[in-house]
């Protein structure tokens, strides 16, 4: 099984209905996050699937999706009572 990498996925969607749809898509892959920024552990295939699904749900003239792979050599820093993201031992998409 391919190794998962930690990504930050953010979106800026202008229409509330499209925004709800994109949020639902991203949350299926998310390990944590809030508002319109999520932490996702993704394989290359999962990243491509997320971008394909979210890309089909947005208006490319006004909306944006941003996916940033975090450097696996760098430790994750959290502030306050935040819990660092962790990749679950299994991934259920149902």
| Two structure tokens written together for 36 | 């319109």
pLDDT band at 80 (very low <50, low <70, confident <90, very high): confident
Cα 25 from chain centroid (whole Å): 9
Taking the whole predicted model, whether its pTM rises above 0.95 is answered as: no
The rounded distance, in Å, linking the Cα atoms of 84 and 66 is 21
Fold classification of 5-69 (topology level): Alpha-Beta Plaits (3.30.70)
pLDDT at 85 over 80: no
Q: Are 58 and 13 in contact (CB under 8 A)?
A: yes
| Two structure tokens written together for 17 | 């209905």
The rounded distance, in Å, linking the Cα atoms of 54 and 1 is 24
Note the pLDDT of residue 33. Answer: 81
Per-residue pLDDT tens over the stretch 47-74: 999 999 999 999 999 999 999 998 888 7
């Amino acid at each position: 099984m391919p190794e998962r990498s930690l990504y930050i996925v953010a979106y800026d969607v202008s229409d509330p209905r499209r925004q709800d749809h994109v949020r639902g898509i991203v949350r299926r892959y998310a390990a944590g996050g809030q508002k319109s920024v999520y932490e996702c552990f993704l394989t290359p295939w999962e990243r491509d699937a997320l971008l394909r699904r979210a890309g089909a749900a947005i208006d490319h003239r006004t909306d944006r999706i941003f996916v940033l792979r975090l450097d696996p050599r760098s430790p994750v820093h959290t502030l306050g009572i935040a819990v660092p993201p962790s990749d679950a031992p299994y991934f259920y998409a149902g």
